[in-house]
Amino acid sequence: MAKNSTEIGGDVSGRARTWLTGLGTAYPPNLLTPEWLEAVADRFHDVKQSEGLQQLLNVVSPKTGIETRAGVCDYGPNGFGTKTSPPTIAELDNLFRIEGVKLAVEACKAALSESGIGVDQITHTVGVTCTNQGNPGYDLLVHQQLGLRSYVDRMLLHGVGCAGGLSILRAASQAVLAATARGKPARVLGFACELSTPLLRRELADAAKSSARDVSIASALFSDGAAAFVMTNDLGLDNSKPLFEVLASASALISQTLDHMGCYADLHGT
């Protein structure tokens, strides 16, 4: 029998509790350096003729302090994205649905393993990405590859960008609290996956046409990877051990920041 809210952690308030019981991450094997970024830029562009690329490679990249980044694409000979033109949105979508799903599944398995909860016990999934736009969402592919039950409550968030990880924590917590209010167990599997290196060709092409002041810094910052968690209420704990408790969540908008960073689909990705 799951412990009730008055038995866990000495809490006697009677409030509904939301627990994180498992965490997992997954990264692709390629480790990409600042020198690698310079080599890819030189391969496809005349860096000396672009103040945007010079700003990106000689000013922005060194200041990040990043030594290596994990990536599914290394732009090696005959690899993905090495044609004359940048990859199309269809090619990017297909790659994500293979490599991105693989990473998400790996992260989910790690979170489930730490939690001690089986795939047949999961009641909800909450996923997010801002580097894939396809329908049905990639969460369905993750669902199928994990072997989750067909009636698991699925939710895929869209349009939240870099706030995606926190957003799925908030959405999962709301699902857990709703189940608690109905007197039902909740075991939510949350996962996020982003693939940024497949978008590098488009990022470099934009930088080549940009001024030093307006150049995007994304290609010097972001890597590829996935993360996952398992979240439960008291009724869903069973033999799992709580790692963290979600005490509260909120969402807010900061005015005049709409144009600071975005991710929009077109023929060449984003």
CB 152 within 8 Å of CB 124 = yes
CA distance 44 to 38: 10
Peptide bond into 136 cis (omega under 30): yes
Please state, in angstroms and rounded to a whole number, the distance separating the CA atoms of residues 202 and 268: 7
Half-sphere exposure of 100 (CA within 13 A, CB side): 28
Contacts of 217 (CB under 8 A, 6+ apart): 56, 60
162 classed as catalytic: yes
Which residue is catalytic, options 73, 108, 130, 162? Answer: 162
- Strand ranges, E, within 28-74: 30-32, 69-71
User: CA 105 to CA 122: how far, in whole Å?
Assistant: 14
Cα–chain center distance at 42: 29
Q: Given the structure tokens 């007197």, which residue do they identify?
A: 183
Q: What backbone torsions phi and psi does residue 114 show, to the nearest 5 degrees?
A: -65, -35
Side-chain-facing half-sphere of 82: CA atoms under 13 Å: 11
SS3 253: coil
Burial (Cβ within 10 Å: 0-12, 13-18, ≥19) of residue 163: middle
Residues tagged active-site: 162
